[in-house]
Structure 1
């Protein structure tokens, strides 16, 4: 961490304070940094005096100013004496709401007298002396409201304090816990609960309350009566609680007093009033101060009261299950199982695991084992989940339970452990053990899902057709096959149909009484993919954001973080925001478990961004990590890695190898992947190899049509038009590359004016691509080199000898030497070191 907590942001407020000629009143909640802002505003100024008001000093007239005044006051007018003694250019009065009446009158007098600029801080929503109130009420000085840090400001402060990138989910969690309070945020970071993982700072372990934070929060809570303390403790263990329930358990008067003191908030929720603690850290500090017996007493009272009220809300089942567990009451398998299911639905997955284990221990049997295995799968504990599923599998159970268990176990085997063969065997066994139509349909649909994952679309369609031929689906079966159909549609490149299907299915899911996050995530992922295939980056980014939000309030569902973090990085890369894409990909990769089917797409995107930025060694490290941690079960895993490897090869100067890899990967690839693989061949300078194939593709949307047009373009004007098309779609990197190629074609045709215009356009677009470096953009650095000259120049700049270059490119040493001579002549440099400096100058 940096040596001192940084002062970040607040630029507008700082400017307002410094420009206030007579002074300013800075108001804000406790901990928002009012004093720090005032100190920053007067930093470097001469003749600054500070008066710090306190409750104790308020007992004595002019008590806050005592350190600034002579020891003996006069017998006459003390106000005039004090004003005469305080002849300073700038006076800062901290916590002015605590001033005694005489001190407040002195501040008012100084503001109205020329020569002293007064900067006063005070706590919002707190009574202040009349003389201080008059400062802004009578327009003597402006009042500046200082709000807590926004999410963006919190991110900036954290990154400056920690000296590195902070994972977005960690930023969001710290912001929620601190509520943007600068003081609380600082103490949370100093507690040491953040750890650097893969170059990204992440929340690691439980929330830790430091002594300073405990004392600060306890000081804000202040002295409370026994009844008020009881209400605060009940809320600390049970919030939100209905006002009626709190009144029955404690005291309504106490709740009202706490609301008046801004320690609790009361908000309407339908016909009920819900009470919460005013700040999340109040609960942490209150619980920290409760002994074991006191805590048990509180949670048992809550469990009994809410149970007697009838468990009327979904959350009541979960809360009572947890309270009973924490209170040491006998385990109720049914209640614990229901609580586990509810925790899974809201994606508080660690709590779901805890409740699932408790349900098994309480004698919940096969249903509890199945539930526990499922939540272990969601928490990426795949081997442990398989052990639990295998134990459950050996028991007797009904057809519906057997089918659900078989489907979930197969998913864990395939997606978790990468063992597709065993997953298929489980589904085959499931089909042999069940006889009801709807159970057999479910097994077939799951087999279709696996076929799609592994890239066998024809088999998937056949399996779904067989399921349809069996008869009508159950509601669950309809949802299963709709999700499978969406996957097939996007895989086939039928993007518009996929989006329409997803919209219809999403409307149905919105009417469901209980959230179905897994199905929603799958559907949203397919919709994101479809939007990208259409070139609709805005829609793709919106879907990716929706999917990222499915992780739940506790950020424990890694799948949503990984999948939609990767989609977001991909959208940003296609927009040309390559540095932003790298940041998102690094953020996402930091959350990868030891093994994951999503490692290929996630680390592939990371490597791709590194390669486009010229950081080839880092790209290669990401690819190595993907090889070690990924489970390559299908195209969604393999293709992102191959694309990234192609651009890594290009970054090493092996453009021919990159082209070969793209062409090889396009053979047998899914229709949705083929356009990008072939278009990258165009971007690598070999449009002649793929123009006919791109033109013949039967894939939806304007983007693929533009890819084909790019491949077919033969002159500068056509490439200019392609560049404009990419820019309209928001694909700025592609637009910059096409414009750079257009400039080269204009020059080859002797059209100097067109070349200059296209090169200017290419520069403008490339400078918005955050330092992206591709073969096409090298034209902007060395516009007169041919593709072969650029290829040899890149290898020479990397230190390869003429003989090594000749061996790699299958040309003679003489050809390499002659080409380098031409490169030196065109560029004006005369050795490899100078060539390296020229070629590695950032594009913007």
Structure 2
């Protein structure tokens, strides 16, 4: 059994022989390797006879099973003994070796010559890591936290266990999150230190540089030795070699072993190395600034300011704040003070950010005041929910001394604030006014582009949106990646378009991609809520519940994105019938969610619709749905109106035909609202199934079943009921009003017995022989089953019976 240190070789071997009698253990060590047969000393007589020591030792081993742990450390004679025991066949041998370690020839021959099979223990995959953590912790682990555990452990079970024992995890409502900085346990530190081993002065110098500065382009004569020992990895990068430590935790151990003065010396040398090469990479600015700051060098305000901006862009907000404050202390001016306010806002410290902005703005005029006012307005809106004050700040910023670019900036941001508030027409007017002033600056292109995308997506103008985005991205080119907040907003608009057109797979793909690209709790929560929306609409209600719970766990005390997260959580809870939990979640939202406009408020209203319905208050549910139907965003009005149809009030949803939301979903919703016959509802159900919306499809089939029954068409009613139940099976336990009156097609004991055998594929003759019935009786019974259930063949019957089992 081969594997790296910590892979669990010894534990697995111990489990394998636990119930065997007569097991002898040999544990090889580096110290015993200097002594012939040293590892076997406890199994051999004290005095060896003259002659062949192997024969003597082999005859002395009388255990039927021999376990040799760390066989790569055996001395040559002990290795030869193991080889002989295997050849003799008298003793069963189970050995472990460490991959990458040199083993004696006799040990290598065991698997090379096919004397014993070799089992290589692979690192745990991400999915296996998640399973292990869930079993150990008794709860789910948050997505980003799981990624950090996978990266830090590299699938090593020992490392994984010690990371858990380090105390870095925090339980937030049954979801485990990484919290704070990592402190290695003594076991993990000693294990990794032993793996690193002794280093020469030159080797130590290289690994210290990598521990604080990887990846680095290095050229050192010791690189080959370190690579041979699997302590580093070397990858070609153009004409340079990029060098990294072979494992993330190696750096933790090396840094822990460096004192303060040594750390500062290493950091200063790193900064000097990068500066000597001209700092050609974009990230070099951030790296050099941090190294100089931590190395105790005098602060350069310009360097620190640029570094703070870069740290904010990559969402390392704690570092960004530290660099910004250092820049201010070193004499930095307006730009870094404005940046500090933004950084505080990004950390959900909105009141602190408002103080910074308000104090800064008080002494400004002209374009600088506009720059401060636009940033301050967004903090007032998204952080504090003060839409009116945000607009007042923007209006007051025009003191008559501003440039055309600044005037456009005010209009673009005012358009965004107005759009978020729900007035899409006024927002469009502000955008149009700004564009009439002339070609916008690059900053104006970004601000105006995001706002226009929001307006188009909220209005459901899918074609205009796609054309606008294509032109915008072509204009921005590669620079788009430099502005994660902008691209995040564009992805959000794209998800809204996907949802309003019924493209659930695309909405889910975009949400997952956005979460993987932006390591920021607010963004992860926001797109986690959109993930929950797509899953819920796709009938995966329990998966939606889990996604929403994870998003909620990432929320700060108050947040504008809390409405979407808590709304989806309550919505899923209500669909699963947990009314008390849904009501508690909505009550929490009243304290935690900052109301900004439809985007933050409608998810909570929709959750309230289905919470009331689950409670049995259909009148209250319909009234709430009507309030959603009055939303200034047509895409939300569409959902509210269709919820009225789902609640059994299609006549109240007549305005669906007046909406101008583009895409194939709205026509299906209109067909549902205007269905005149049970057959129309059958077609609507098929349409929803095509969209991957099984819960909506099940509701339409259930409504069709009631309509057929009212018309006296009982067989068709049973067929619709069967279809509804089949679809409901795919919805992870969801129950809505339309499904409450649905009855499972009932069968007598004899009918069920025949049906089960038919569903398994048995012929009528085979069923008759098994049940000692006539073939005619079986045929008549099966006909009655088909009549009662509404299905027409054995395959459909099998699906129905499988549904009932679940």
CA distance in structure 1 between the partners assigned to 2:805 and 2:677 by the alignment: 24
Are the structure 2 counterparts of residues 479 and 616 from structure 1 closer, same or farther at C-alpha, using a change threshold of 3 Å?
same
Are residue 531 (structure 1) and residue 531 (structure 2) matched?
A: no
1:771 pairs with 705, 722, 733, which one? Answer: 733
Residue in 2 that maps onto 1:19: none
Are residue 488 (structure 1) and residue 455 (structure 2) matched?
A: yes
Give the TM-score normalised by the residue count of structure 1: 0.85
CA distance in structure 2 between the partners assigned to 1:455 and 1:290 by the alignment: 56
CA distance in structure 2 between the partners assigned to 1:420 and 1:131 by the alignment: 78
Partner-residue secondary structure (3-state), 1:268: strand
Residue in 1 that maps onto 2:799: none
Following superposition, the deviation at residue 780 of structure 1 comes to 4.6
CA distance in structure 2 between the partners assigned to 1:341 and 1:665 by the alignment: 40
Are residue 670 (structure 1) and residue 633 (structure 2) matched?
A: yes
Residue in 2 that maps onto 1:733: 695
Are residue 596 (structure 1) and residue 559 (structure 2) matched?
A: yes
CA distance in structure 2 between the partners assigned to 1:272 and 1:402 by the alignment: 46
**1:415-471: per-residue Cα shift (whole Å, max 9, x none)?**
111111221111112223543111101100100001110100010011111112112
Are the structure 2 counterparts of residues 80 and 782 from structure 1 closer, same or farther at C-alpha, using a change threshold of 3 Å?
same
Residue in 2 that maps onto 1:650: 613
1:519 pairs with 462, 466, 486, which one? Answer: 486
Are residue 290 (structure 1) and residue 253 (structure 2) matched?
A: no
> Which is worse superposed, 227-236 or 43-52?
43-52
2:95 pairs with 92, 112, 120, which one? Answer: 120
Partner-residue secondary structure (3-state), 1:147: coil
Are residue 408 (structure 1) and residue 371 (structure 2) matched?
A: no
CA distance in structure 2 between the partners assigned to 1:29 and 1:434 by the alignment: 68
Partner-residue secondary structure (3-state), 1:721: helix
Are residue 59 (structure 1) and residue 38 (structure 2) matched?
A: no
2:170 pairs with 180, 195, 204, which one? Answer: 195
Are the structure 2 counterparts of residues 120 and 686 from structure 1 closer, same or farther at C-alpha, using a change threshold of 3 Å?
farther
> Which is worse superposed, 210-219 or 730-739?
730-739
Q: Pairwise mapping of residues 115-514 of structure 1 onto structure 2 (< 5 A)?
A: 116-244=91-219, 252-396=220-364, 399=367, 401-512=368-479
Are the structure 2 counterparts of residues 114 and 653 from structure 1 closer, same or farther at C-alpha, using a change threshold of 3 Å?
farther
Following superposition, the deviation at residue 89 of structure 1 comes to 5.2
**1:243-264: per-residue Cα shift (whole Å, max 9, x none)?**
14xxxxxxx1233222221111
**1:544-574: per-residue Cα shift (whole Å, max 9, x none)?**
12221332xxx3x222112111111111111
Are the structure 2 counterparts of residues 753 and 309 from structure 1 closer, same or farther at C-alpha, using a change threshold of 3 Å?
same
CA distance in structure 1 between the partners assigned to 2:70 and 2:152 by the alignment: 25
Contact 1:502 1:527 in 2 (8 A): no
1:686 pairs with 630, 635, 649, which one? Answer: 649
Partner-residue secondary structure (3-state), 1:406: helix
CA distance in structure 1 between the partners assigned to 2:376 and 2:597 by the alignment: 19
**1:192-235: per-residue Cα shift (whole Å, max 9, x none)?**
12111222111111111222221111111111112211221121
Following superposition, the deviation at residue 507 of structure 1 comes to 4.7
CA distance in structure 2 between the partners assigned to 1:76 and 1:766 by the alignment: 80
Q: Pairwise mapping of residues 747-762 of structure 1 onto structure 2 (< 5 A)?
A: 747-762=709-724
Following superposition, the deviation at residue 519 of structure 1 comes to 0.5
Partner-residue secondary structure (3-state), 1:273: strand
Following superposition, the deviation at residue 301 of structure 1 comes to 1.7
Partner-residue secondary structure (3-state), 2:95: strand
Following superposition, the deviation at residue 766 of structure 1 comes to 2.0
Following superposition, the deviation at residue 117 of structure 1 comes to 4.4
CA distance in structure 2 between the partners assigned to 1:207 and 1:395 by the alignment: 43
Contact 1:524 1:546 in 2 (8 A): no
Contact 1:197 1:590 in 2 (8 A): yes
Following superposition, the deviation at residue 391 of structure 1 comes to 2.3
**1:754-782: per-residue Cα shift (whole Å, max 9, x none)?**
34443333333322222222223334556
Contact 2:725 2:744 in 1 (8 A): no
> Which is worse superposed, 380-389 or 636-645?
380-389
> Which is worse superposed, 403-412 or 318-327?
403-412
Residue in 2 that maps onto 1:10: none
CA distance in structure 1 between the partners assigned to 2:662 and 2:447 by the alignment: 25
> Which is worse superposed, 647-656 or 116-125?
116-125
Partner-residue secondary structure (3-state), 2:634: coil
Residue in 1 that maps onto 2:581: 618
Partner-residue secondary structure (3-state), 2:372: helix
Partner-residue secondary structure (3-state), 2:97: strand
Partner-residue secondary structure (3-state), 1:641: helix
Partner-residue secondary structure (3-state), 1:267: strand
Contact 1:550 1:560 in 2 (8 A): no
Give the TM-score normalised by the residue count of structure 2: 0.89
Are the structure 2 counterparts of residues 338 and 668 from structure 1 closer, same or farther at C-alpha, using a change threshold of 3 Å?
closer
Contact 1:771 1:843 in 2 (8 A): no
Q: Pairwise mapping of residues 716-727 of structure 1 onto structure 2 (< 5 A)?
A: 716-727=678-689
1:713 pairs with 675, 693, 697, which one? Answer: 675
CA distance in structure 1 between the partners assigned to 2:297 and 2:251 by the alignment: 23
CA distance in structure 1 between the partners assigned to 2:624 and 2:804 by the alignment: 26
Contact 2:458 2:496 in 1 (8 A): no
Contact 1:418 1:632 in 2 (8 A): yes
Residue in 2 that maps onto 1:789: none
Contact 2:628 2:636 in 1 (8 A): no
Gaps of 5+ in 2: 747-802
Are residue 542 (structure 1) and residue 509 (structure 2) matched?
A: yes
CA distance in structure 2 between the partners assigned to 1:757 and 1:138 by the alignment: 65
> Which is worse superposed, 214-223 or 505-514?
505-514
Following superposition, the deviation at residue 670 of structure 1 comes to 1.3
CA distance in structure 2 between the partners assigned to 1:685 and 1:34 by the alignment: 62
CA distance in structure 2 between the partners assigned to 1:584 and 1:410 by the alignment: 31
Are the structure 2 counterparts of residues 647 and 234 from structure 1 closer, same or farther at C-alpha, using a change threshold of 3 Å?
same
Contact 2:504 2:692 in 1 (8 A): yes
Contact 1:434 1:440 in 2 (8 A): no
Following superposition, the deviation at residue 62 of structure 1 comes to 3.3
Residue in 1 that maps onto 2:531: 568
**1:45-103: per-residue Cα shift (whole Å, max 9, x none)?**
45544332221232233333444445554545443444445455544332222222233
Following superposition, the deviation at residue 585 of structure 1 comes to 0.9
Contact 1:453 1:634 in 2 (8 A): yes
Contact 1:496 1:534 in 2 (8 A): no
Contact 2:38 2:78 in 1 (8 A): yes
Contact 1:767 1:843 in 2 (8 A): no
**1:292-327: per-residue Cα shift (whole Å, max 9, x none)?**
111111111222222232222111111111111111
Are the structure 2 counterparts of residues 62 and 626 from structure 1 closer, same or farther at C-alpha, using a change threshold of 3 Å?
same
Contact 1:239 1:277 in 2 (8 A): yes
Gaps of 5+ in 1: 1-25, 245-251, 785-840
Are the structure 2 counterparts of residues 55 and 532 from structure 1 closer, same or farther at C-alpha, using a change threshold of 3 Å?
same
Following superposition, the deviation at residue 28 of structure 1 comes to 2.3
Contact 1:340 1:352 in 2 (8 A): yes
Q: Pairwise mapping of residues 10-49 of structure 1 onto structure 2 (< 5 A)?
A: 26-49=1-24
CA distance in structure 2 between the partners assigned to 1:314 and 1:47 by the alignment: 64
CA distance in structure 2 between the partners assigned to 1:734 and 1:47 by the alignment: 64
CA distance in structure 2 between the partners assigned to 1:729 and 1:711 by the alignment: 17
